[in-house]
A and B are shown apart, each in its own frame.
Chain A
Amino acid sequence: MDPPLVNDSSFSPANPSSYTLSEIWPFPVNDAVRSGLRLAVNSTPSDKDVSTAAAAAAAAAAAGEESTVTDLTAGGWGGRKGRALNSEEDESSKMVSLSSSGNEVKDSGEKKRKLCGSENGNGDGSMRPEGETSSGGGSKATEQKNKPEPPKDYIHVRARRGQATDRHSLAERARREKISEKMTALQDIIPGCNKIIGKALVLDEIINYIQSLQRQVEFLSMKLEVVNSGPSTGPTIGVFPTGDLGTLPIDLHRNIYEQQEGNESRGSHPEWLHMQVDGSFNRTT
């Protein structure tokens, strides 16, 4: 694994806000590069973001610039973070490929520029039609890993390396991320779901939980009906007239509040599954 051509020592410690743009990027800047850099600088850059932003800017600028200089910046940005990212390896491989296939870089760079200019107008078929691989699959070194530069009021979607960048897959990826984010929110609600990994199992757990809750409602309504159907059939109540749940005394309300803590401390099985079988019987009979 070759170290990148440029490592940390070759750059003065970076404080992007302290330099003017011309210092950092001494090349003619077009819109794509500027917006790419702006996005990289403004948002709190994570590792991947910075590297992909730089890659985007580098790719866009590659059409007009010398490829070696682009390698420099790409390597610099990528190498600044000391983590063993995939992007680091990809940077080196990308640098190799950039220098070797300069023409191809320029072509696709121009293509990229056109794409950025038209704000990802259409996912063209000439782009790599490969499916979305995870960020680890930066296999095609000759691909330009570009990041879309949507205007500010769009949902910011970061395209990771090795993923197709046409409009549909981006939208789908954003949608999928939304769904997984909501599923993690669901996981927090359901007890015992944190340990399960894998969407399908989590969803199974969720479905079981809902079913058990619904069964509990049914069971409790049966119990309520028994309780309420009068002293002759149900256990004797004595205090309340038959079938008149509307005039419950205040104590019952207080009972409802106090019972909550009692329930939670008593029936504190970590798995809700037990509550249905054991807890109810213990408490009410």
Chain B
Amino acid sequence: MAFAENHINTDVPEKDVFALHFLQTLSNLSTQNPFSSPDKKSDRVKKIKKAAYVSMARAAGCTDRLWSRALLQRAAKRNNKIVRFPRRRKRVTWLRRRSNRRDPVEEAAAERLRNLVPGGGEMKTSKLMEETAHYIKCLSMQVKVMQCLVDGLSPK
């Protein structure tokens, strides 16, 4: 067992990184699919939402975080694209899962967290907390960017 690091690193890039990624993804979205296509409104909304998440995952550091990797893989799977990441994901056997998260007091809440945070199904609870913190920061940053965008685009 190595020395446990004392401070958890939950730094998140600045807002412009998120904005840049989001705008790039949106422009890709609009160029690849001309908007006059007969997509229903819900489809368009879904596309924008997916673009938001994907750009957030990319802006936050593609491979640095488990949740971003899981998000990107999930999105790529829907497009039938195979995305390979250089670092191998740890396979947790069922047996080790039992010994990994043993505390029943916080288990129920941890279960809910796992459902919410992408990629949370396989993490140990301590790792889950780290990922949650980073995820929350990135989410709030993304929300701010989108809010500013909406404000900027809507008529004064």
Query: Which residues of A line the B interface, CB within 8 A?
Result: 153-155, 172, 175-176, 178-179, 182-183, 185-186, 189-190, 199-200, 203-204, 206-207, 209-211, 213-214, 216-218, 220-225, 227-230, 235-238, 240, 242-248, 252-253, 255-257, 259-260, 263, 280, 283-284
Chain B 29-50 per-residue mask, 1 if CB under 8 angstroms from chain A, else 0: 0110011000001001100110
- A contact residues around B24 at 8 Å (CB): 246
Determine the residue in chain B with the shortest Cβ distance to A201: B109
A-B pairs with CB below 8 Å: how many?
A: 175
Chosen A-B contacts, 12 in total, with CB atoms closer than 8 Å, are: A176-B103, A182-B8, A182-B126, A185-B129, A199-B105, A210-B135, A210-B136, A238-B155, A252-B152, A256-B15, A256-B149, A257-B15
Q: How near does chain A come to B126, taking the closest CB pair, in angstroms?
A: 5
- B contact residues around A200 at 8 Å (CB): 105-106, 109
Judging by beta carbons under 8 Å apart, are A259 and B8 in contact? no
Task: Give the secondary structure class of B's interface.
Answer: helix
CA distance A277 to B94 in the complex (A): 43
Chain B 105-130 per-residue mask, 1 if CB under 8 angstroms from chain A, else 0: 11001101100110000000110011
- B contact residues around A235 at 8 Å (CB): 154-155
Judging by beta carbons under 8 Å apart, are A199 and B116 in contact? no
> Interface extent on B, as a size class?
35 or more
> Which of A178, A220, A253 has the most chain B CB atoms closer than 10 A to its own CB?
A220
- B contact residues around A237 at 8 Å (CB): 153, 155
CA distance A176 to B102 in the complex (A): 10
CA distance A146 to B137 in the complex (A): 42
A210-B116, A256-B145 given; A224·B153 CB < 8 A: yes
CA distance A50 to B126 in the complex (A): 29
Q: How near does chain A come to B142, taking the closest CB pair, in angstroms?
A: 6
CA distance A34 to B1 in the complex (A): 23
- B contact residues around A260 at 8 Å (CB): 15, 144, 148
Interface residue B23 (Cβ < 8 Å from any Cβ of A): yes
